[in-house]
Structure 1
Amino acid sequence: MDVFILFHKKNSFNLQYFISEMKESNKIFLLLVCISLICDVSSGTRFKPSRSMKSPGGTIIDKFLPQLSRNSAYGSYGPCTSPSPASIAPCECSEDYFYGRQLVCDFNFDQNDDVTEMTHNLFKNFNATNNQFDSASFYFSNDGETSNFIFDYATSGHLEVKFFVVQGISVENGKLPMTESAVLGSINSLEALWIENNDYSQNLAFSENFLFAMELLELKLLCLFGFDWDKFQLPEQTVLMLETFVVDMKFETLPEMQNLKHLYLIPTEEASLSSEVLRKVSNLEFLVILEVEDLGGKLKAVLPGTFEKSAFLKSIYLSETNVASIDLTGLGPSTFVDLSYSSITNLSEQNFRPFLEGAVQNFVSFAGGIYFSFEGLVEKLIGGINLANNALDCTCDLKWLCEIPYSSNLTYNAECADGTTLETYMELIWNQCP
């Protein structure tokens, strides 16, 4: 059984986490997402908010690295005995128990530097004896555009990589400086491709036919952030293979991805979540919507009937969005919904009762059941709603909630507008309301 952990940090400095069940293998799978360079994770109470410094680099996602146990293929490439550190500067090779063999390159080119020969000479130091990596990450920290750098076969193309990451790319011509030959040596190994544009003012356009001719049959995770989606379409074979997709795009333009398990949507404008969006991802298990202040996108609404046929969902993460109303009818009894730091004030019986009545049956069956833990984070794998930092309107209209056994165990961190915990107020409602 797998354990999935998500750390999320946004411009409002609230850090949230959740642990959910995954079933793809018998390995422990830890997936980190930190929208911050420095993360301070508080252990203890479920979904306890934490504070951390804002990323000085200002990138959208700074860490999204899979860590698997040594029993998996990850970490099978061995230690960094070659090439020599001096020969590949500013790149570094490192190897540890969790991440395996990694190549990290932090490029700080001046806008006018001629870097083509420099980088080609650097990558010539990798050959069939030392070109295999669990992850290869390329970061660009220059202030100006990188107008004369390109990922091609002469740079990364002969590396054999499982996780390929590019962050901070900013170019003056608006084109992604990458050809398909950049991952030619990784066709049979590439499991994750993460490319992030660091310039919020422009959407990069993809190179002609980018990804289309590549038969990346092992690709399971794809992040393409900050691109012009009006000029790009995912290859059909890629769509069929993907299990995780991280993207900023109009919700209605999401392609049909029937094998997708994890979807991270970053709205680029005012958006509404609807059943039509979820219809395109009918086997989805984890849905995360992240609002990024610099992009100006907002989740405006979750339309009625959105989750009518969504019992397959395990976790829905809508924390720190503008959602003020949501109908959870149709979700399965083990779904966990994170509505913390949103705008929910009213727990209407119509929208919440059907879900909570199913969840309470699941809660009772799991009472005293199995827990999973990682470094102090403890979570029972059951359904419920995280309502932290929502000023709930606590009135006699909530008496229906008192009629559901253990409802206070399923409405985590819920507080009334006056600061009283919902659990305490429910006792007053039961005794005083007709």
Structure 2
Amino acid sequence: MVLPDYLEVLLLVCLCSTTLASNIQIKSDQNIVLDVKSKDVQCANPSPEAIYPACFCSHRFDYETDEYLGRFLYCDFWIYDEPELIHEIFSQFNETNNKFYEVFISKAYLTNFVFDENTTGKLIMEKFIVSVDMYIQNDPPVQFKETAFENSNSVLGAISVNSPDPYFPMNYWNFGQGTLDNLKNLNHLELFNYNYDTEPFPPSVLFTLQDLSFKGDTQLSSFSYVAMPNLKNLNLYYYLGSSLPPYMLYNLPGLETFMLWYSGVETIPDGFFTYATSCEKLMLFGNFINYIDLGGLNPSAWVDLRYNQINKLQEKNFRPFVENVLYTSNANGTVLLDRNPLECSCDIKWLVVDLRDGLQIFQGAQCADGRALADVDPVLLEIECPDF
């Protein structure tokens, strides 16, 4: 007998209150051992053998609290999986068993997998993740049709398209026209090697997004011309450009966090943060930044510039922020500068001599010769740098 979802969950809650708390193991009909400590219990509907070995469905419970977290579907399709097999697996899902908190499609070359009404479009998902692993360059691009999220339009809140291959080419996947148009609840989007210039987001997505991440070879020159009033977090990972679009943050009035990690960026343009007045966390760790203008930043901003190439603290770029921190009540602005090759020459006289209290703002700052920035002698600087 196939149980409807709600009866299945009720039965599993009772099961968890007795057996999951103990240190025993449960065996499924397929003789697959389930470790009760994992808090994952295999779904009965669809039957496990109907979707195994490509997919695995489980009910998940929080390890600490026993709180029910929902149904999870994990699928792993390999190059030898044929369309008939894929469609047979997804034909097992219907209105009694197609609701999931998270669907994760992993690894596969996905040569024969199309995201459409016959696959993911049959499911109702709150969170969707796909990890694309494409090494055979002659394979067709991964395709997302307009119907890829057909049943999830009103509930899908998060989409993540990733690849474990850093050299995964940008033109090997794309959203089909209209794929994102009807997603009314999308607030988290994470995309690998995405060309925003040729495939901008529809207005509905621009309005709902709260968290946006771009990874890898991303084209963002037209990103400055769109407004995202509710975006709180913007993250760039492995961005290949040497600079950022000057007005990237111009239309993001609610931005709270900006992250730029392990990129090729060398220059943050003048005035880049002028309109990011609500942003209080800037994680600019592990890049090649040698020039940055902090003017316009919130006086309580936390700026992580560790592991960059900053060798000078130019007065015009840093002094406005330092003064804003010092002279604003309850401001606690901080700049982390560990592992930057600071020269500690005449360019820091404005800080060491004129605004010495501002030294506390720069944490972990060391000169290239090993001295801490706070230990630089102001008297010596006045003698050596009379014209500064």
TM-score range, shorter chain: 0.7 to 0.9
Deviation >6 Å, runs of 4+: none
Alignment correspondent of 2:250: 279
- Is the 1:175–1:205 Cα contact (8 Å) retained in structure 2? yes
- Is the 1:82–1:130 Cα contact (8 Å) retained in structure 2? no
Alignment correspondent of 1:365: 330
Relative distance call for 1:250 and 1:208 in structure 2 (3 A) is: closer
Alignment correspondent of 1:153: 117
Alignment correspondent of 1:338: 304
Distance, in Å, in 2 between the alignment partners of 1:179 and 1:275 is 34
Question: Quick check: 1:200 aligned with 2:168?
Answer: yes
Question: Quick check: 1:253 aligned with 2:217?
Answer: no
What do residues 229-254 of structure 1 show as CA deviations (whole Å, max 9, x unaligned)? 45423212212221222225333221
Question: Which of 207, 210, 218 is 1:240 aligned to?
Answer: 207
Question: Quick check: 1:386 aligned with 2:356?
Answer: no
| Cα shift at 1:342 | 0.6
| Cα shift at 1:220 | 0.7
- Is the 2:98–2:123 Cα contact (8 Å) retained in structure 1? yes
Alignment correspondent of 1:407: 358
Distance, in Å, in 1 between the alignment partners of 2:196 and 2:290 is 29
For residue 266 of structure 2, what is the amino acid of its counterpart? K
- Is the 1:80–1:101 Cα contact (8 Å) retained in structure 2? no
| Cα shift at 1:203 | 2.0
Question: Quick check: 1:219 aligned with 2:179?
Answer: no
For residue 96 of structure 1, what is the amino acid of its counterpart? F
Alignment correspondent of 2:268: 302
What do residues 30-76 of structure 1 show as CA deviations (whole Å, max 9, x unaligned)? xxxxxxxxxxxxxxxxxxxxxxxxxxxxxxxxxxxxxxxxxxxxxxx
| Cα shift at 1:118 | 1.9
Alignment correspondent of 2:286: 320
Question: Which of 362, 373, 376 is 1:422 aligned to?
Answer: 373
Question: Quick check: 1:184 aligned with 2:150?
Answer: yes
**Structure 2 SS opposite 1:233:** coil
Distance, in Å, in 2 between the alignment partners of 1:324 and 1:312 is 25
Distance, in Å, in 2 between the alignment partners of 1:397 and 1:224 is 40
Question: Quick check: 1:164 aligned with 2:128?
Answer: yes
Distance, in Å, in 1 between the alignment partners of 2:245 and 2:161 is 27
What do residues 153-185 of structure 1 show as CA deviations (whole Å, max 9, x unaligned)? 222223221111111153745433222322112
| Cα shift at 1:355 | 0.7
| Cα shift at 1:317 | 2.2
**Structure 2 SS opposite 1:118:** helix
- Is the 1:288–1:318 Cα contact (8 Å) retained in structure 2? yes
Question: Quick check: 1:82 aligned with 2:44?
Answer: yes
Relative distance call for 1:383 and 1:97 in structure 2 (3 A) is: farther
**Structure 2 SS opposite 1:416:** coil
Distance, in Å, in 1 between the alignment partners of 2:367 and 2:71 is 48
Question: Which of 224, 235, 240 is 1:264 aligned to?
Answer: 235
Alignment correspondent of 1:289: 260
Is there any run of 5+ residues in structure 2 with no aligned partner, and where? Answer: 1-39, 383-388
| Cα shift at 1:257 | 2.6
| Cα shift at 1:221 | 1.3
Relative distance call for 1:114 and 1:135 in structure 2 (3 A) is: closer
- Is the 1:309–1:330 Cα contact (8 Å) retained in structure 2? yes
Distance, in Å, in 2 between the alignment partners of 1:187 and 1:155 is 15
Relative distance call for 1:202 and 1:349 in structure 2 (3 A) is: closer
For residue 281 of structure 2, what is the amino acid of its counterpart? S
For residue 227 of structure 2, what is the amino acid of its counterpart? M
- Is the 1:386–1:412 Cα contact (8 Å) retained in structure 2? yes
Q: How does 1:40-189 map to 2 (within 5 A)?
A: 81-83=43-45, 84-89=47-52, 90-92=54-56, 93-97=58-62, 100-101=69-70, 103-110=72-79, 113-141=80-108, 145-170=109-134, 172-189=138-155
What do residues 372-405 of structure 1 show as CA deviations (whole Å, max 9, x unaligned)? xxxxxxxxxx421111111222246534334546
Relative distance call for 1:268 and 1:163 in structure 2 (3 A) is: same
Distance, in Å, in 2 between the alignment partners of 1:91 and 1:361 is 59
| Cα shift at 1:115 | 2.4
**Structure 2 SS opposite 1:415:** coil
Relative distance call for 1:251 and 1:152 in structure 2 (3 A) is: closer
Distance, in Å, in 2 between the alignment partners of 1:100 and 1:203 is 36
Alignment correspondent of 1:63: none
**Structure 2 SS opposite 1:180:** coil
Distance, in Å, in 2 between the alignment partners of 1:122 and 1:201 is 29
What do residues 401-426 of structure 1 show as CA deviations (whole Å, max 9, x unaligned)? 34546534421221111233323x14
For residue 272 of structure 1, what is the amino acid of its counterpart? S
| Cα shift at 1:334 | 1.3
Distance, in Å, in 2 between the alignment partners of 1:322 and 1:398 is 21
Is there any run of 5+ residues in structure 1 with no aligned partner, and where? Answer: 1-77, 293-297, 367-381
- Is the 1:204–1:226 Cα contact (8 Å) retained in structure 2? no
Task: Determine what percentage of the aligned residue pairs are the same residue.
Answer: 27
- Bigger radius of gyration: 2
**Structure 2 SS opposite 1:353:** helix
Relative distance call for 1:167 and 1:418 in structure 2 (3 A) is: same
